[in-house]
Structure 1
Amino acid sequence: MVRMLRPLTRAVTYKRWLHIVVAVVWPSLWIFIEQAWWTQATAAVLLGFAGLVPVTRVVEGFQARLLLTGHRQGGAAAEIVTTPSVTWADRGRTVVWLEARLVLGWIVAHLSVQLPLLAVDLLTTGLGHEPAADGFVSVEEHHWWHALLAPVPLLLLAVVVVWSGHLVTALAVRLLGPSPAERLAALEERTEQLLERTRIARELHDSIGHALTVAVVQAGAARAAGDPQFTDRALVAIEETGRAALEDLERVLGVLRESRKPVSSRPTLVDADRLLESARASGAKVDAEVTGPVDTLPGPVSREGYRILQEALTNVLRHAGTVPVRVRVDAAGPMLVLAIRNPLTEPVPGPGRGSGLRGIRERAALLGGLARTGPDEGDWQVHVELPLS
């Protein structure tokens, strides 16, 4: 019983009832002035023309969100759009919504008046008096048990109010909800947001991870060497790497905050010398070979190539230490080829490890390229091919 009565204690139940009844206020006033059947038909025709106006869906959407779902952001409220109709299918659904709301409004408004009148008639005739109201069901005879039936119309009214509210909300979601094209556009926008978050996470992982790795390696080497000149070079390398990481962090935070102030551009393979010198300053013996004009590479390919090279060198410093590293960058052919090899000094990471390597493969796949990472003839290799067209 408590569960059945719970909807009657919620404010949204009565707001939904108000939403339904409001739809027939202006036609009802018209009927009072001119008692004719054609007034209802005229009201339906006028609503049909109103539904063809694109802005009508905006008004109906806001009204439905306010009265049918309250101020909640999720649930049914998220399924009701508040944008103008774009296609004729959207206009058609708005017309159907207006007509359905009008019909439902007539029914619910009529029952909201007649059922209480019926309850009054049952009570008065049960007490031996003449009917006090002129309802759609006439109660003429006088029986004591009429008074026992007086609560029944009121219970029916409660059922009508609750279930008509659920019905009109379901109709609003169906008829004022987004069209398939709008759902697809929203899905694409959500996908873009998720991809952007993933890209930002990769950027932070590569940039900050590289800076911290270089700082740790340089600090450890400087402490072990005990040479003031080497310590000075290590501090310079830590400073330069940290400054570059701070620039990347500022740029990423600017994107997250949607700041309007300009932020520094993302590094490209033109800046690869900075990575190579940073690795050399950390003690790695880097043998680099660059073929082809890297300054004319497409922007996305050059930026992702820089991050791939950065992650590969970071992994060398983190896992292999100061070992010989062979770096080959070939931009002369139809594919940008990045090949990084170093002696394998640690066991191969097991499944589930190596988020940086997964990021390399994801970057390559995003541009339609291929990436191979793993042991090869006693070396650890990172071999990436990115199409230039």
Structure 2
Amino acid sequence: MPSLLLPLTHAVTYTRWLHLLMGAIVPVACAMVFPGLSSPSPGDWALIAVLPVPLVLAAAMVPSVRRAEGLQAQLMLFPGPHARVRSDERPGVSAVPSSSWSDRARTGALLVLRVETGLAVALVTARLMALSLSFAGAAAGDPGIDAPLVDFAGGSWMYVLLVPAPLLVLVVTAAGAGALMAQAARRLLGPSVTERLSELEERTEQLLERNGIVQELHDSLGHALTLAVVQAGAARATADPQFTDRALETIEETGRDALEDLDRVLLALRETGRPAGTRPDLGEAGRLLDSARSSGAQIDAEVTGPLEYLPGPIPREAYRMLQEALTNVLRHAGPVRIGVRIVVEQTRLRLEVRNPLAAAASVAGTRGGSGLRGIRERATLLGGEARAGRDGSQWPLHVDLPLR
């Protein structure tokens, strides 16, 4: 018994009930025109139930009707902030306009079901509430309303005990009908195949974007930490106060840049809707080269062609590739002589980073790591390629990116 009375405490029971009663407005309005509502016969009620069907099917052909039904269903058929029950279940109801004839057909089926169920629930509501009033009147000595299923002969105060019974039956009936309507809404207003594919594509793009953000954070922080380690080691080895001051200054500047990158990435991951700030591009390659030089590496740089006219994401991604390449050299080979060559051609961007192989770096370098893998992935996403491998006593990295 307590389980049957549990719907009484749920706000969603009454919002579903109201949702069903709203569906009865259309057939009742049609009945007021024809055949009328004065003492309708069972045949009249059957006609009242059939008359609005062509009208609601025609309304379902309008794309925005599906959106309106979806919004009503989300608000009134499923537990939310208005309910006294906690539910983490998503309604699974779409609230977008119809985009296909299948969407229109499903919307039409839901509208017909809502109208017919709403009319039935409205009739049951009227009958049971009238019966409850009759019990109250019978307890007072005058039923006032005919109730064909109940004999009120010999009025008695004990009828007052039966007043709540029709109301309880009514609430339980409304709760059951509302639950069935919620299930029907899930099936008939659920996302179509096109919407599911669109949602999947959007989710995939978000995952790819987040993966790129994580990779960018790895590159930035890895570069900053590598420079800090190299600078600290060199300062301790030289024991030169002037060199130590320069090393600390470089560590401070690199750390500040890394913190700015970290703040920007965290801002993007929080999805606050605010711009995540500007990202460095290849035009700022001089800053990377200066950082590497300050760690003791000798940089031979050659830049050919206009970097400011590189299209789309190419200058930003090329900057990260150069950053990761320099980080790998400093991490595995130390402050050695590094050759950097950037060539902007009419249709391609070529980036080359070359360094001598240290004895300790030969094994680590040939195996490759997450940094080199990240460079290859960035190049592939841009339609280009990245190659790296031993060339005698040298370790060259070649990146070739198309500009069109």
Give the TM-score of the pair, scaled to structure 2.
0.73
Q: Which AA in structure 2 matches 1:187?
A: L
Shift of 1:304: 0.7
Q: Which AA in structure 1 matches 2:376?
A: R
SS at match of 1:217: helix
1:364 corresponding residue in structure 2: 379
Superposed, 1:6-85 pairs within 5 Å as 12-13=12-13, 15-25=15-25, 27-28=27-28, 30=32, 32-33=37-38, 35=40, 36=44, 38-71=47-80, 75-77=89-91, 79-85=92-98
Q: Deviations over 1:96-145 (max 9, x none)?
A: 21112112334455567779999xxxxxxxxxxxxx8435xx99xxxxxx
2:115 corresponding residue in structure 1: 102
Q: Deviations over 1:316-346 (max 9, x none)?
A: 2223222232323232364322232331423
2:400 corresponding residue in structure 1: 385
Superposed, 1:144-155 pairs within 5 Å as none
1:320 to 333, 336, 351: 333
1:307 corresponding residue in structure 2: 320
Shift of 1:164: 4.0
Q: Which AA in structure 1 matches 2:68?
A: V
1:235 to 234, 248, 252: 248
> Is the counterpart of residue 258 in structure 1 residue 262 in structure 2?
no
Q: Is the 8 A contact 1:76 1:173 kept in 2?
A: no
1:134 to 129, 142, 148: 148
- 1:245 to 1:15, Cα distance in 2 relative to 1, 3 A: same
Q: Deviations over 1:208-262 (max 9, x none)?
A: 32122212321221232121222233234334433433443454455454326x9
Q: Which AA in structure 1 matches 2:381?
A: L
1:348 corresponding residue in structure 2: 364
Q: Deviations over 1:270-321 (max 9, x none)?
A: 2212211211111122333334433332231121111001011112222322
Q: How many residues align?
A: 375
- 1:33 to 1:80, Cα distance in 2 relative to 1, 3 A: farther
Q: Which AA in structure 2 matches 1:180?
A: V
Shift of 1:373: 4.1
Q: Is the 8 A contact 1:117 1:134 kept in 2?
A: no
Q: Is the 8 A contact 2:23 2:115 kept in 1?
A: yes
Q: Which AA in structure 2 matches 1:366?
A: L
Q: Which AA in structure 2 matches 1:32?
A: L
Q: Which AA in structure 1 matches 2:315?
A: S
Structure 2: distance between partners of 1:34 and 1:115: 18
1:286 to 296, 299, 313: 299
Q: Is the 8 A contact 2:49 2:119 kept in 1?
A: no
- 1:369 to 1:2, Cα distance in 2 relative to 1, 3 A: farther
1:297 corresponding residue in structure 2: 310
Q: Which AA in structure 2 matches 1:323?
A: V
Q: Which AA in structure 1 matches 2:364?
A: V
Cα RMSD, aligned residues only? 4.5
Structure 2: distance between partners of 1:25 and 1:44: 13
Q: Which AA in structure 2 matches 1:388?
A: L
Shift of 1:94: 2.3
Q: Which AA in structure 1 matches 2:59?
A: A
Structure 2: distance between partners of 1:4 and 1:350: 71
SS at match of 1:337: strand
Give the % identical residues: 52
- 1:378 to 1:106, Cα distance in 2 relative to 1, 3 A: farther
- 1:272 to 1:156, Cα distance in 2 relative to 1, 3 A: same
Superposed, 1:152-171 pairs within 5 Å as 164-171=177-184
Give the TM-score of the pair, scaled to structure 1.
0.76
2:229 corresponding residue in structure 1: 216
Shift of 1:23: 1.7
Structure 2: distance between partners of 1:170 and 1:271: 58
Structure 2: distance between partners of 1:388 and 1:283: 34
Structure 2: distance between partners of 1:385 and 1:376: 18
Q: Which AA in structure 2 matches 1:287?
A: D
Q: Which AA in structure 1 matches 2:351?
A: L
Q: Is the 8 A contact 2:27 2:119 kept in 1?
A: no
Q: Is the 8 A contact 2:379 2:385 kept in 1?
A: yes
Shift of 1:159: 8.6
SS at match of 1:194: helix
- 1:16 to 1:227, Cα distance in 2 relative to 1, 3 A: same
Structure 1: distance between partners of 2:125 and 2:314: 68
Instruction: Name which of structure 1's ranges 223-232 and 330-339 shifts more when overlaid on structure 2.
Output: 330-339
Shift of 1:158: 9.0
Instruction: Name which of structure 1's ranges 232-241 and 274-283 shifts more when overlaid on structure 2.
Output: 232-241
- 1:380 to 1:160, Cα distance in 2 relative to 1, 3 A: farther
1:329 corresponding residue in structure 2: 342
Q: Which AA in structure 1 matches 2:378?
A: R
1:194 corresponding residue in structure 2: 207
- 1:13 to 1:382, Cα distance in 2 relative to 1, 3 A: farther
Q: Which AA in structure 2 matches 1:19?
A: H
Q: Is the 8 A contact 1:348 1:375 kept in 2?
A: no
